[in-house]
């Protein structure tokens, strides 16, 4: 493959309704969009979601990253082997710019697959992708009335697995728990996400004990990058801790591997820096015995939804849950006329066999 151009842009798609958690409230996508053009006239598309509170990236830094390195990519990357080599040599650089690189890598893989008339799975030497994918219902931080309305809609749609965003307001969070109990939702089917809400172990433990609800896992209760404090929360609550912002890079695995029974890792394609780095993280997670969730940033389009399926398909034996695939359930429009998104019961059916590249038809932005 001969790359001619790598064109980055900012993708702004409004949400149908705002989505709030402890770190941010969103009404529109915050997305880097990348289009790769090859000498054969093929276009590949990629997406990344820079988040200041996750990886320290912004849309501005992501655009600057592509501007700084695109000439190098045009000169050096013409195959999967060359792509893998560039990732290996530039690990530290990509650790600092994972979302930006995610958009570039996905666009390159899409173009490579199309040019080689094969799916990205076949291109990477993986089993072809085909089957059903089951998603979790995610409820944002909202008023009790809105929370109850969202839950009712999800239950009516057949969802059985839930993730709620905690507010830190004890009365409000207790009301959410009361709504869950009244709806007959068992605690073993619910995960809580605090988005680094509390300043210390004691604050987190006191709040969670006051809720008196045995969540199957608690995501990021305190500031990121505090392994020992997270360990103390896990022991005090007798609850698995889900690592998101606290596990961004492969070298951070060592902070948690001595007691794998406490940890579940939320692997998001954009956060990890693309499919290849996510697959590398998956291998490490399997080796040390952590649980796995394949997650998503709020506002992802069908491109990142499709990319995550590659990882899920390799991780079904250790997968606890999958998040994302909201499509036009949340967005006013998607980059596909028929978005990849969950249907009744949270199920998405997708067959990538015989579909080159990502195997999705991006029309709206071309």
User: HEC string of the chain?
Assistant: CCEEEEEEEEECCEEEEEEEECCEEEEECCEEEEEEEECCCCEEEEEECCCCCCCCCCHHHHHHHHHHHHHHHHHHCCCHHHHHHHHHHCHHHHHHCHHHHHHHHHHHHHHHHHHCCCEHHHHCCCCCCEEEEECCEEECCCCHHHHHHHHHHHHHCCCCCEEEECCCCHHHHHHHHHHHHHCCCCHHHEEEECCCCECCHHHHHHHHHHHCCCCCEEECCECCCCHHHHHHHHHHHCCCEEECCCCCCHHHHHHCCCCHHHEEEEECHHHHCCHHHHHHHHHHHHHHCCEEEECCCCCCCHHHHHHHHHHHHHCCCCEEEECCCCHHHCECCCCECCCCCCCHHHEEEEECCCCCECCCCECCCC
pLDDT at 366: 44
150-200 pLDDT, tens digit per residue, is 999 999 999 999 999 999 999 999 999 999 999 999 999 999 999 999 999
pLDDT at res. 23 = 65
Which domains, ranges and CATH numbers included, belong to the chain? 3-123 (3.30.390.10), 130-351 (3.20.20.120)
Residue ranges of the chain whose pLDDT lies below 70: 22-24, 364-366
């Amino acid at each position: 493959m001969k790359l001619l151009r790598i064109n980055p842009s900012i993708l702004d798609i409004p949400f149908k309704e705002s989505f709030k958690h402890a770190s941010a409230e969103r009404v529109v996508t915050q997305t880097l969009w990348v289009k790769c053009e090859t000498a054969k006239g093929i276009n590949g598309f990629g997406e990344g979601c820079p988040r200041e509170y996750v990886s320290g990236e912004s849309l501005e830094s992501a655009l600057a990253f592509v501007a700084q390195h695109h000439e190098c990519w045009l000169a050096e990357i013409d195959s999967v082997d060359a792509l893998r080599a560039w990732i290996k040599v530039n690990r530290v650089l990509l650790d600092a710019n994972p979302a930006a690189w995610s958009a570039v890598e996905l666009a390159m893989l899409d173009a490579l697959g199309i040019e080689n008339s094969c799916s990205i799975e076949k291109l990477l030497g993986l089993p072809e992708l085909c089957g059903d994918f089951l998603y979790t219902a995610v409820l944002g931080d909202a008023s009790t009335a809105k929370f109850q309305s969202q839950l009712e809609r999800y239950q009516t749609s057949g969802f059985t697995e839930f993730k709620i965003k905690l507010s830190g307001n004890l009365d409000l969070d207790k009301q959410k728990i009361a709504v869950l109990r009244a709806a007959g939702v068992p605690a073993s089917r619910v995960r809580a996400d605090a988005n680094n809400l509390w300043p210390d172990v004691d604050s987190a433990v006191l709040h969670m004990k006051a809720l008196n609800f045995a969540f199957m896992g608690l995501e990021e209760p305190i500031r990121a990058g505090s392994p020992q404090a997270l360990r103390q929360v896990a022991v005090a609550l007798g609850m698995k801790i889900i690592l998101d912002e606290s596990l961004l890079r492969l070298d951070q695995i060592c902070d948690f591997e001595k007691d794998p029974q406490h940890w579940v890792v939320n692997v998001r394609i954009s956060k990890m820096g693309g499919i290849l780095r996510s697959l590398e993280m998956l291998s490490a997670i399997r080796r040390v015995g952590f649980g796995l969730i394949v997650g998503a940033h709020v506002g992802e389009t069908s491109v990142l939804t499709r990319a995550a399926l590659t990882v899920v398909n390799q991780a079904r034996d250790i997968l606890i849950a999958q998040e994302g695939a909201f499509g036009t359930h949340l967005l006013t429009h998607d980059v596909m006329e028929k978005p990849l998104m969950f249907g009744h019961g949270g199920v998405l059916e997708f067959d990538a066999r015989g579909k080159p590249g990502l195997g999705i038809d991006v029309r709206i932005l071309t």
